[in-house]
Amino acid sequence: MNALISTALSGVVLMFVGLFVRNKQHIKFFAIAAILIAFIANLAQYPAVEHGGYIMYGMIEVTKFGVLFNAVALGATLLYFLLSGSEFEKVGEHVADYFALIFFILAGISLATSFSNLLMLFLAIEIMSIPQYILAGADKKSLKSNEASLKYFLMGSFSTGILLMGITLIYGAAGTFDISGLGLGAESVHPLALCGIILMVFALAFKVSAVPFHFWTPDVYDGSPTVFTSFMSTVVKAGGFVAFLRMFHSSFAGGNISEHWTLILSIITAATLVLGNFSAVFQQSVKRMLAYSSIAQAGFMLFAIVAMNNRGAEGIILYAAAYSIATIGVFAVLMKLKDYTFEGFNGLARKQPLLAGAVAVFLFSLAGIPVTAGFFAKYFVLSAAIEHGHILWLVLIAVLCAAISVYYYFRVIIAMYFKQGEPEVEAVSGGFKAALVLAIALVLVLGLFPNLLLCWL
Amino acid sequence: MLTVLLILIPFIAGLIAFGLKGSGPKVLGMISSLATVVIAIGSWCRFRTAPDSLNFVANWIPQLGSQFHVGLDGMGVMLCLLTAIASLLVFITIYNRNYEKANVFYGLMLLSQAGLTGVFTAFDALQFYIFWELALIPVYFLCSLWGGEKRIAVTFKFFVYTFLGSLLMLIGIIYLYSQTPDHSFSWASFTSMQVNPEDQKWLFWLFFVAFAIKMPVFPFHTWQPDTYEQSPTPVTMILSGVMVKMGLFGVIRWLLPVLPQGAAMWSDVAIVLCIIGIIYASCIAMVQNDLKRLIAYSSIAHIGLMCAAIFANNEQSLQGIMVQMFNHGINIIGLWIIVEVIQNRLGIKNLDQMGGMAQKAPRMAIFLVIISLANIGLPLTNGFIGEFLMFSGLFQYNHWFMAFAGLGIILSAVYTLGMIQKVIFGEGNELTATTTDLQPGETLALSLVVIMIIVLGVYPKPMLDLVSGTSEVVSKLF
């Protein structure tokens, strides 16, 4: 609740700050301060919900899980501001507006972690999506950015429509919007509700770019300004997953209802893993590779939803943290380079050892090598699936895909460390380096002691 | 506490080495490896008097039931000693070489030593898995940075191969974990639970493939000859002397006791694979012109025999394989030291361009002959006792298997003696005429190897006593 209020307020205030403050550096500092306040305010609510949720008018239920996830999302955004905040001004004039839009997205995410009513779910998804359409088109003079924005908007509107239809059908079957009172787990499942659930699976799969609803992803991520791609493919995507998990966990889990969607979601997961990984192998641009890798990583996060147990819930928090930190870090370094192809990284280790080392650690984490956060993230989602018991085939596919993912992540490492070249790198400030070191430390600490995060759950 | 030191010393030394300049890393590497040898010998002594004191347990991730639990049994002491000796030998041999970016080279070497020791001491499955992966990363960088021309593609294949194998093992570990009554990763609860035989059937392969890739056993061996050939020789020493033992160790520690019925069900298949590997690799070794590849294939054959002996599942063969793990490690490192010397002097590794080196480098020739004879298991060398025990164990299991595996011994004599002949005897040429004999460091390293070969060949009892406890325990569980 605190997170929702503070981020929404910060967004509004930032829009006005843009009118009065001309210095872009000051705007950035203001945004960082605002996110810090939101982070602390969110944590301050933790003691109140530690022993049970806090319900507001039947619309919002703040839980421990929600607060913890907000903390991850806000923390990742803080890191993102520290690393890439100064890139905002390269996109266009309206820096304060971009920051404001990001705060609105965060407000959407904190709603997505705490809705207890289908209408609130719809609102959360929309609040998360609409600012993204604008951010995708922020580089107004670039044709690709415009294309990305339009494509995202059209596809996003469709999926929103599908989500609404799903909600309507479920309402028709259950007679209520309250997610805990839907009562769909009874012996027989109403056909209307079944259709509704399937439609919701499709709509949410679109939001988290699962195959076959992923077609917008590579183009949008590639066309949008890189600095916003970094945010959209990490924190926002994780937010989508939390909405997905919360919806299915509270309404569609247990009883015989989960049988109806487990298989379809398993197939979506398998397709996402296979297609995401295989396509990433053939990319020439690191930015596009990261777009496909985000699809592939979404496949791993979907495990948590398919398995639908406590391990999965722990897994998605850890996965969101590990994946967001690593991807934000790689993007931050990528933006310092002139050339986004793999060759652009040639010889980076010699010229900028810290940058190269950071990218190597982040990529290790994405590939799931031990002692990085990514290992435990993968560990938790895989063990969630193994505990579920009936989807071992999916686990085997995932493992093969993880081995493939090593191929494209290591291409960057090979380029940086084992190839000769003179990469063109922008000058990096001391603050950037400090933030990078902080991110490395986070990845390693979570990789050694994941319980530091999970003990709060 | 001694056990923790065995991991910590090379780890910290490795981190420090990254920051040193000039000959600092060299000296540090030498000090650290000497210290680990001393501690490994100390833990051997401690093992005879108070084996329990070598255990160290600390809380790690209580939510998961995973602990940081290191400990040593007889096999662990033996392998830690081998790891420490191997790195000492490597550092002595290359003391006079000057590597580009020596600080990184030595740092990575020391880190890989720490990872390997971690694998051999882990008594917690999750921790075992993590060290298993960690040992790989420094080696990957070492091979890719200092290797031959095709190093990048070759080491990448090596990495992906082993990574895939270990992920399969991870699934197995998680599955077993979810079956344990107390939700724990500890070795004790893994071995004490009764896994359903139907599950053991497929779980066996998840573990076996991971270990078989590492050893390597036919048909999972394709990464090995390329990697040995392309890696810088000091790294090859670690790879073939110590790292392949990870696979054998894994089978003995984590496969046989945990999935005894699965192993019994598939042991014939595994042994047949090993025997195919022995004969196949020996035949290729006979026609090999590249010195490094020849030794690589000979290593596949020797490892194949060891793996077959594990699945013969009796106390004798297990004792044989454990002794042989140590001795094979020493012998093959000796061979690689000589390869390193030859490559350093001649700059080539083709056998048809060598010859007549006995005249120019008599000391090297003597060492080569002794080590090669030990490698084919001549009596009174250290290779004999292990092979004898393994064959007698295999004989008890099945006569035919032993007969076919025995072919490997004959073939190994053929290619090893052929190699000796081509390298040191025969006509010399312009290139070999420029050879110089061993330098003091190399002589020292090779003398240490030869001393161990002869001492353990004449009096193998201490080594047998050391591992007899482990082989008893494992063969009873099996």
Q: What is the DSSP string of A346-389?
A: TTHHHH-HHHHHHHHHHHHHHHT-TTSHHHHHHHHHHHHHHHH-
Per-residue CA distances from B318 to A92, A280, B47, B76, B469 (Å): 71, 46, 20, 14, 11
Contact A403 B174 (CB under 8 A): no
Q: What is the pLDDT of residues A261-298, one digit of tens each?
A: 888 899 999 999 999 999 999 999 999 999 999 999 99
Higher pLDDT, A253 or A49: A49
Determine whether the interchain pair B63/A395 forms a contact, defined as Cβ–Cβ distance below 8 Å: no
Question: Looking at CA atoms only, how far is residue B128 from chain A in angstroms?
Answer: 11
Mean pLDDT across A378-407? 88
Decide if B61 and A449 are in contact by the 8 Å CB cutoff.
yes
Contacts of A267 (CB under 8 A, 6+ apart): none
Q: What are phi and psi of B312, to 5 degrees?
A: -70, -10
pLDDT at B477: 63
At residue A320, does pLDDT exceed 70? yes
Report chain A residues whose CB lies below 8 A from the CB of B141. 417
Residue in chain A closest to B149 (alpha carbons) equals: A418
Cα–Cα distance measured from residue B256 to residue B184, given in angstroms and rounded to the nearest whole number = 19
pLDDT of A185-227, one tens digit each? Answer: 666 778 888 888 899 999 999 989 888 888 899 889 989 999 9
Q: Do β-strands B56-61 and B66-70 pair in parallel, antiparallel, or remain unpaired?
A: antiparallel
Overall pTM > 0.90: yes
Spatial separation of the C-alpha atoms in residues B340 and B233, rounded to whole Å: 6
DSSP assignment of A109-133 equals HHHHTTB-BHHHHHHHHHHHHHHHH
Of A406, A414, A455, which has the smallest distance from its Cβ to B152's Cβ?
A414
- Other CB atoms closer than 10 Å to residue A282's CB: what's the count? 10
Q: Whole-number mean pLDDT of chain A? A: 89
* CB-nearest partner of B171 from A382, A419, A450: A382
Contact A418 B145 (CB under 8 A): yes
In this predicted structure, the answer to whether residue A247 has a pLDDT above a threshold of 60 is yes
Backbone angles phi and psi of B121, in degrees to 5: -105, -5
Question: A417, B168: Cβ pair inside 8 Å?
Answer: no
Q: Is B129 on the interface with A (CB under 8 A)?
A: yes
Share of chain A above pLDDT 70, in %: 99
Å between A400 CA and nearest CA of chain B: 7
Give the angle subtended at the CA of A166 by the CAs of A163 and A168, to the nearest 5°: 110
**Per the CB < 8 Å rule, is B160 touching A406?**
yes
Q: Distance (Å, rounded) from C-alpha B85 to C-alpha B41?
A: 10
Which of B60, B151, B174 has the CB atom closest to A383's CB atom?
B174
Q: Do A379 and B170 touch (CB under 8 A)?
A: yes
**Residue A255 pLDDT grade (very low, low, confident, very high; cuts 50, 70, 90):** low
Q: What is the distance in angstroms between the Cα of A439 and the nearest Cα belonging to chain B? A: 20
Farthest-apart Cα atoms in chain B, separation? 70
Contact assignment for B144 to A402 by CB distance below 8 Å: no
Greatest alpha-carbon pair distance for chain A in Å reads 66
Predicted confidence at residue A110, as pLDDT, reads: 93
Instruction: Find tokens 């025999």 and name the residue.
Output: B305
**Is residue A387 within 8 angstroms of chain B, CB to CB?**
yes
Angle between helices B461-477 and B315-346 (to 10 degrees): 130
What number is the average pLDDT over the span A384-407? 88
Distance between first and last Cα of chain B: 30
Q: Identify the helix (H) or strand (E) that includes residue B60.
A: strand B56-61
Is A369 in CB contact (< 8 Å) with chain B?
Answer: yes
Splitting chain B (478 residues) into consecutive groups of 10 residues, what average pLDDT does each group show?
Answer: 87 89 86 92 87 83 84 88 91 84 89 92 91 90 85 88 90 89 85 85 90 88 86 88 90 88 88 91 89 89 89 84 90 90 81 79 88 88 87 87 86 89 80 78 89 89 83 70
> Cα–Cα–Cα angle for A448, A335, A374, nearest 5°?
20
The answer to whether A245 and A313 are in contact (CB under 8 A) is yes
**A369, A418, A455: residue with CB nearest B133:** A369
CA gap A243, A304 in Å, rounded: 13
- HSE (side-chain half, CA atoms, 13 Å) at A408: 26
Cβ distance B159 to A402 less than 8 Å, yes or no, reads no
In residues, how long is chain A? Answer: 457
Number of Cβ within 10 Å of residue B271's Cβ equals 23
- Interface contact B59, partner A, CB < 8 A: no
Yes or no, beta carbons of B156 and A414 under 8 Å apart: yes
In whole angstroms, what is the distance from residue A274 CA to residue A208 CA? 16
Strands B56-61 and A60-62: unpaired
The four Cα atoms B215, B216, B218, B224 give a dihedral, to 10 degrees, of -170
Say whether A370 and B61 touch across the interface (CB within 8 A): no
Q: How many CB atoms lie within 10 A of CB A263?
A: 12
Q: Tell me how close the Cα of B186 comes to any Cα of chain A, in angstroms.
A: 17
> Helix or strand or coil: residue B55?
coil
In chain B, the residue whose alpha carbon lies closest to the alpha carbon of A389 is B175
A409-430 tens-digit pLDDT: 999 999 898 888 888 888 888 8
Q: What is the pLDDT of residue A225?
A: 92
Task: Please check whether residue A403 touches B, CB under 8 A.
Answer: yes
